[in-house]
Structure 1
Amino acid sequence: MTGWQLAFLFLAGVGGGLTGSVAGLASLVSYPALLAVGLPPVIANVTNTVAMFATTVGSVAGSRQELHGQGRALLRLSLLTGVGGAAGGALLLVTPSETFEIIVPWLIGLASVLLMLAPRLRAWAQRHAEEGAGATPLGPLTLVVAFGVALYGGYFGAAAGVMMLALLSVAWSQSLARSNAAKNIATGAANLVAAVVFAIVAPVDWAAVGSMAAGLLIGARLGPALVRRVPETPLRLAIGAAGLALAVSLWVNR
C-alpha cells in the first residue's frame, strides 16, 4: 500500500470519526474508503472492524459520567453482545465472499436510510425515555434482539449503533444520554470480540488498520466540538445520499 493510500485512509478515518459523532455511522465513510484503495470487500470489512476499536475507546472515555451505576446490567448485556459479535464474525468467515458481495449493497443501503432517519429515531427514543425514570431490567426479548444486532454488527457493522440505541431506549427507561453510553459499551463489546477473531484468523490489512485507526481516534476526539459548529442536517443527508449511491454502484457492479 502506497504512502498516498495510507494518507487517504487516515483522512477517511478522521471523516469517519466525525460521522460517528453525528449519527454513529463511522463505517459509512471508512468502509467505502477501504474499497477505494483496492481492498476486496471481505478484507475491507474485517480491516474496518479491527480499526473501529479506536472509536470505541474514544466514545467510552468520554461517557464515564453517563455509565455510572450501569455496571451490572451492562456486564450482562456486553457478555451477550460479545458472543453475538463473535458469531457474526464467524458467519462472515465461513460464508463465501460472493455471498457477502451480494448482501453488502443492501446493508449499506439500510445504513444510509437509518442515517437519514436518525433525528426521527432519536426523537422517538427521547419521547420514550421521558415516560419513566431509572433503569428497568433487560428482559429476555431485549437480550434476544440485542444478540441479533450484535450478530449483524460482527458481520458488517454499519448502523448497528443506531439499531442498538433504538432498542435500549425502548427497553431501558433512562435518559437518552445514558442509553447512548450503554449502546457504546454494548456495540463496542461486539466489535471488540469480532475484531479479535478477525485479527487471529482473517486477512486483515494491518497497514490500513494503523492509518485508519489513527484517523478514527482523532475524528472521534474532535467530533463533538466540531459538530456543534457544523450544520448537522446537510452533512447527514449528504453522507446518506452518498451511501445510497455507493449501494447502487456496488449492486450494479457486483
Structure 2
Amino acid sequence: MTWWHAVIIVIAGVWAGTINAVVGSGTLVTFPVLVALGYPPVTATTSNAIGLAPGTVSGAIGYRHELVGYWPQVARFAVASFLGAIGGTILLLSLPKDAFETVVPVLVGLAVVLVIIQPRVAKWVTKRREANGTEHKPGPLLMFLLFLIGIYGGYFTAAQGVMMMAVMGMLLSEPLQRLNGVKNSLSAVVNIVAGVIYAFTAPVSWPVVGLLAVGSTIGGQLGAKIGRRLSPTVLRGVIVVVGVAAVIQLLIK
C-alpha cells in the first residue's frame, strides 16, 4: 500500500463516518474507493464493516443526549439487529464469492435508490404523523423489520441506516433526532457483530481496517457535532454520485 492510497482511505473513512452519523450510507463512499484501489469486493466489504464500526460507535456516542431515558428501548431493538447481523454474516460467508460479486451492483443500486427517495419518505412519515396524531409504540412488526435490516447490514452495510430511519419513522412516534441516535446505535451493533465474525473467518485487509477506523472515528464525531449544519442535499448528492460510479465500475469489471 502506497502512502497516497493510505491518505485516500483515511479521507474516505472520515467522510463515511460523517455521513453515517448524519444520514447513513457511508459504505457507498468507502466500498467503491477500496474496489477502485484494487481490493476484491468481499475483502472490501469485510474490511469496510470492521473499519467503520468505530465510526458508528463514535456517532452513537455523539447522539447520547438524544437517547437519555430511551436506552432500555434501544437495547431491545439491538437484540433484533444483533441476531440479524449474525444471519447476514453467515450468508456472506456461506454463499460463493461469485454470487456476492454478482449481487453487489444490485445492492449498491438499491442503496442509491433508497438514498434518493429518503427525503420523500421522511416527508410522508411527517405528514402521516400529523394526520394520525396517535402514538406509535414498538411492536413485533418493528422488531421483525429491524431483524431483516440487520441481515442486510451483516451482508452488505450500505444504506442500512436509511432503511432503519424509514422503518422507525413510520412505526414510532419519537422525534427524528432521537431516531437518528437510535439508528447510529443499531448500526454500531450490526457493524461490530459483523466485524468480529469477519475478523476471525473472512479475508480482511488489516491496514485498511486501521486506516478506516481512524478516519471513521473522527468522522463520527464530526457528523454528530456539525452534521446537522451541513446541507443534507449536498451529502445526499455526493452519496448518489459515488454510488452510481460504483455501480458502473462494478458492472464494467
Distance in 2, matches of 1:102 and 1:206, equals 25
Per the TM alignment, residue 229 of structure 1 is displaced from its structure 2 partner at its CA by 5.9
Letter of the 2:223 partner, please give it.
G
Residue 199 of structure 1 is matched in structure 2 by: 199
Shift of 1:161: 0.5
Aligned to 1:119: 119
2:68 corresponds in structure 1 to 68
Q: Which residue matches 1:10?
A: 10
Equivalent residue number for residue 169 of structure 1:
169
- Range 64-73 or range 141-150, more displaced: 64-73
For residues 79-98 of structure 1, what are the structure 2 equivalents within 5 Å? 79-98=79-98
Q: Confirm or deny that 1:34 pairs with 2:59.
A: no
Question: Who is 1:103 aligned against?
Answer: 103
* Alignment-derived partner of residue 53 in structure 2: 53
CA distance in 2: counterparts of 1:13 and 1:239, whole angstroms: 14
Q: Does 1:148 align with 2:151?
A: no
After TM superposition, give the deviation of residue 123 of structure 1 in Å. Answer: 2.4
Number of the residue aligned with 1:252: 252
Q: Are positions 1:159 and 2:168 aligned together?
A: no
Shift of 1:37: 1.8
Deviations 1:20-78 (A, max 9, x none): 24521110101111112211000100000001112212211111121122222222210
Paired position in structure 2 for 1:216: 216
Q: Is the 8 A contact 1:14 1:220 kept in 2?
A: yes
Q: Is the Cα contact below 8 Å between 2:17 and 2:59 reproduced in 1?
A: no
Offset of 1:248 from its aligned partner?
2.8
What secondary structure, in the 3-state scheme, does the structure 2 residue paired with 1:127 have? Answer: helix
* Matching residue's letter, 1:157: T
Superposition deviation, residue 135 in structure 1:
6.1
Quote the Cα distance in structure 1 between the aligned partners of 2:75 and 2:122. 25
Measure how far apart 1:202 and its partner are.
1.3
Cα distance change, pair 234–66 in 1 and its aligned pair in 2 (3 A): closer
Alpha-carbon distance between aligned partners in 2 of 1:129 and 1:50, rounded to the nearest angstrom: 36
The amino acid that maps onto 2:39 is L
Q: CA 1:227–1:188 in structure 2 vs 1: closer, same or farther (change >3 Å)?
A: closer
The size of the alignment, in residue pairs, is 252
* Separation in 2, partners of 1:33, 1:207: 15
Unaligned runs of 5+ in 1: none
Q: Cα 1:158–1:54, aligned 2, differ >3 Å: closer, same or farther? A: same
Deviations 1:72-102 (A, max 9, x none): 2222210121011011011101111100101
Does the CA-based 8 Å contact 2:59-2:184 persist in structure 1?
Answer: yes
Name which of structure 1's ranges 117-126 and 214-223 shifts more when overlaid on structure 2: 117-126
Cα drift, residue 207 of structure 1: 0.5
Any conservation in 2 of the 1:132–1:173 contact (CA below 8 Å)? no
Contact 1:108 1:158 in 2 (8 A): yes
- Does structure 1 conserve the Cα–Cα contact (< 8 Å) formed by 2:62 and 2:225? no
SS in 2 for 1:24: coil
3-state secondary structure, aligned to 2:203: coil
2:236 is aligned to 236
Where does structure 2 lack aligned partners over 5 or more consecutive residues?
Answer: none
- Bigger mean CA deviation after superposition, 53-62 or 242-251: 242-251
TM-score, with normalisation over the residues of structure 1? 0.91
Deviates more, 1:127-136 or 1:138-147: 127-136
How big is the alpha-carbon RMSD for the aligned residues of Structure 1 and Structure 2?
Answer: 2.0
Are the aligned partners of 1:19 and 1:26 in contact in 2 as well (CA < 8 Å)? yes
CA contact (8 A) 1:17 1:218 kept: yes
